[in-house]
Amino acid sequence: MRVTFTANGKPVEADDVWEGESLLYVLRERVGLPGSKNACEQGECGSCTVYLDDVPVCSCLVAAGQVQDREVRTVEGLADESGLDPVQQAFIDAGAVQCGFCTPGLLVQTHDLLEREPQPSDTDIREALSGNLCRCTGYEKIMDAVRLASARKCQKVGTSE
Amino acid sequence: MEFLRPATWDEALAAKAEFPTALPISGGTDVMVEMNFDVHRPSAILDLNRITELRQWEITDGVVRLGASVPYARIINELSEPLPGLALAAHTVGSPQIRNRGGVGGNLGGASPAGDAHPALLAAGRDVFVEVASAARGTRLIAIDDFYVGVKRNSMEKDELILRVHIPVADGPQQFSKIGTRNAMVIAVCAFGFALHPKNGTVGTGIGSAAPTPRRAVAAEEFLQGVLAERGLWESGDLLGAEVIQQFGELVKAAASPIDDVRGTADYRRHSLAVMARRTLTWTWNDYSKQIRSAA
Ligand SMILES: Cc1cc2nc3c(=O)[nH]c(=O)nc-3n(C[C@H](O)[C@H](O)[C@H](O)COP(=O)(O)OP(=O)(O)OC[C@H]3O[C@@H](n4cnc5c(N)ncnc54)[C@H](O)[C@@H]3O)c2cc1C
Ligand code: FES
Ligand code: FES
């Protein structure tokens, strides 16, 4: 079947999609957006997290046909012409990326957290990231990165007011 | 395989009538795992995401009518007051990403004994109904006590779909407790839901992951209701006493028929059910006492 939807603001079209195929497969293999990673295909690791109509979901658990006419935003859609998203920059600056396999999912999930709650407590951060597994970092640097992104975000808000 | 995308509820029922073996998909958090691992290949997939009614809830005459596809995240954010037990259970499901997609309709559709919505729905009382419909016969209400019929089996017909669940607005404290290895992403080793219903002088229980189906601890409910009525405790809000709490725990434990499996032994499940029963009873009763005292 054919599936058409919006990915990172642009219309995309995927052909010959198998009816049982996941959104993750379509993104990676059919529309050239391999940023979202496939690590478990069962919702356990969060490395495939994308926004579906502004709500973060595991793209491995969304059937491709379910995104017809809807909007998807992947890790590739976080940066814009002015550069990396502050969340991405914070992950680099805090040294929160080792092998990087978990990073795309963590970036999207963190981006959503800070949109909803610009100044989260450590408990809020742990809760928000509880569906994202990382086998390298031990999570401390990831916590640092989220706190850093939050601090920068709050500072920006502070100075613009 | 076909991919069916009905735009309305009537179209969905018509599609299910025409393709009775089509597999409905809502949040996909159960269905897609099976699809990705090739556990089974249905003849067709019936996507329910476009159907507005399934994503809505309303409260009329003291009853929440909860659309089958309202995701857990929204139950937590929007319905914690009228449905405290279900909201607590929802909070223990998977992870934020899973809670953004999965909902009660999918939990009921799968009817796993480990589904976390079930103990909360059972505890919410005997007036909880699953509203299902078919193109041929229209709508019917299935009482929650008649819904679960076997391991991963419910009492729905092949041509039926779940529209919503009717759950009375809480009129007393409710609790939910679950045993697992961490706070996120765990299938319950076992779970327990408990609710006080002061208006009609009843209590509700629900046991998860400790029998072939989710089930109620009937003898425990009857025992506690008897004690509360005889001693006038609903009116006084006085202490229950250790013996009552202990006995309640033992009766909940006796209602289970768990098995040994990878997540835990039958003995451990029985033990932890008694502990959860005592805890949830104590928490809810203490809350209730406080309400009585502050109203006096
Ligand atoms: C990583 C992970 C963690 C999880 N953790 C938990 C947990 O902690 N607790 C828990 O209870 N569950 C858990 N689950 C299982 C799952 O998230 C829940 O069962 C959820 O409620 C399913 O809802 P859904 O909308 O995603 O269902 P779907 O996958 O879309 O459907 C599930 C079943 O219900 C049927 N169905 C769906 N909607 C309808 C309808 N309207 N009418 C008729 N049939 C319907 C489908 O055909 C299918 O058989 C987890 C799953 C994953 C992947
Ligand atoms: S690949 Fe989707 S959650 Fe792991
Ligand atoms: S950096 Fe390797 S899995 Fe997280």
Same domain for B191 and B285, yes or no, is: yes
Instruction: Tell me how close the Cα of A139 comes to any Cα of chain B, in angstroms.
Output: 15
A157 pLDDT above the threshold of 80: no
Facing B100 at nearest CB: one of A44, A56, A63: A56
Q: Quick one: pLDDT at residue B102?
A: 98
Strand order in the sheet with A10-14: A10-14, A3-7, A71-73, A49-52, A55-58
Which structural domains are found in chain A, ordered by start?
3-77 (3.10.20.30), 86-157 (1.10.150.120)
Residue B40: Cβ within 10 Å count: 10
Any ligand 2 atom below 6 A from CB of A39: yes
Lowest-pLDDT choice from B22-31, B51-60, B81-90, B183-192: B183-192
The average confidence (pLDDT) of chain B is 97
Q: Quick one: pLDDT at residue B183?
A: 82
Q: Quick one: pLDDT at residue B153?
A: 96
Q: Quick one: pLDDT at residue A136?
A: 97
Q: What percent of chain B has pLDDT over 90?
A: 95
Q: Quick one: pLDDT at residue B177?
A: 98
pLDDT digits (tens, 9 = 90+) for A5-27: 999 999 999 999 999 999 999 99
Q: Which residues of B touch A120 (CB under 8 A)?
A: none
Q: Indicate the residue among B168, B193, B212 that finishes a domain.
A: B168
Q: How many CB pairs under 8 A join A and B?
A: 89
**Burial class for B21, CB neighbours closer than 10 Å (0-12, 13-18, 19+):** exposed
Ligand 2 binding pocket mutation candidate from A28, A36, A58 (most atoms within 8 A of CB): A58
Average pLDDT over residues A106-133: 97
A161 pLDDT above the threshold of 70: no
Q: Quick one: pLDDT at residue B182?
A: 85
In ligand 3, the atom with minimum distance to the C-alpha of A135 is 3
A160 pLDDT above the threshold of 60: no
On whether residue B244 sits in a domain, the answer given is: yes
Q: Indicate the residue among B168, B198, B222 that finishes a domain.
A: B168
pLDDT digits (tens, 9 = 90+) for B108-164: 999 999 999 999 999 999 999 999 999 999 999 999 999 999 999 999 999 999 999
On whether residue B14 sits in a domain, the answer given is: no
Q: Quick one: pLDDT at residue A159?
A: 67
pLDDT digits (tens, 9 = 90+) for B259-271: 999 899 999 999 9
Q: Hey, whose CA ends up nearest to atom 4 of ligand 3?
A: A134
Q: Quick one: pLDDT at residue B40?
A: 82
pLDDT digits (tens, 9 = 90+) for B211-247: 999 999 999 999 999 999 999 999 999 999 999 999 9
Same domain for B109 and B191, yes or no, is: no
Residue A98 alpha carbon to ligand 1 centre in Å: 33
Any ligand 2 atom below 6 A from CB of A47: yes
Q: Structural domain of residue B228, as residue ranges?
A: 174-295
Strand ranges (E), B83-187: 129-134, 138-143, 148-150, 153-154, 161-168, 174-179
> Residue B120 maps to which CATH number?
3.30.465.10
Q: Quick one: pLDDT at residue B295?
A: 87
Q: Indicate the residue among B111, B133, B168 that finishes a domain.
A: B168
Instruction: Tell me how close the Cα of B25 comes to any Cα of chain A, in angstroms.
Output: 8
A149 pLDDT above the threshold of 70: yes
Give the residues across from B81 on adjacent strands. none
Element (H, E) at B208: strand B202-208
**Contact flag B47-A46 (C-beta cutoff 8 Å):** no
Facing A57 at nearest CB: one of B1, B3, B100: B100
Residue A75 alpha carbon to ligand 2 centre in Å: 14
On whether residue B16 sits in a domain, the answer given is: no
On whether residue B2 sits in a domain, the answer given is: no
Element (H, E) at B255: helix B242-255
Any ligand 3 atom below 6 A from CB of A137: yes
Question: Minimal CA–CA distance to A63: which of B46, B93, B52?
Answer: B46
Q: Quick one: pLDDT at residue B186?
A: 85
Count up the domains in chain B and report the number: 2
**Contact flag A20-B35 (C-beta cutoff 8 Å):** yes
B81 pLDDT above the threshold of 80: yes
Which residues are CB-neighbours of A141 under 8 A, at least 6 positions away?
A94, A95, A96
Average pLDDT over residues A41-65: 98
ipTM topping 0.90: yes
Q: Hey, whose CA ends up nearest to atom 21 of ligand 1?
A: B107
Q: Quick one: pLDDT at residue A156?
A: 80
**Contact flag B33-A65 (C-beta cutoff 8 Å):** no
> Residue B279 maps to which CATH number?
3.30.390.50
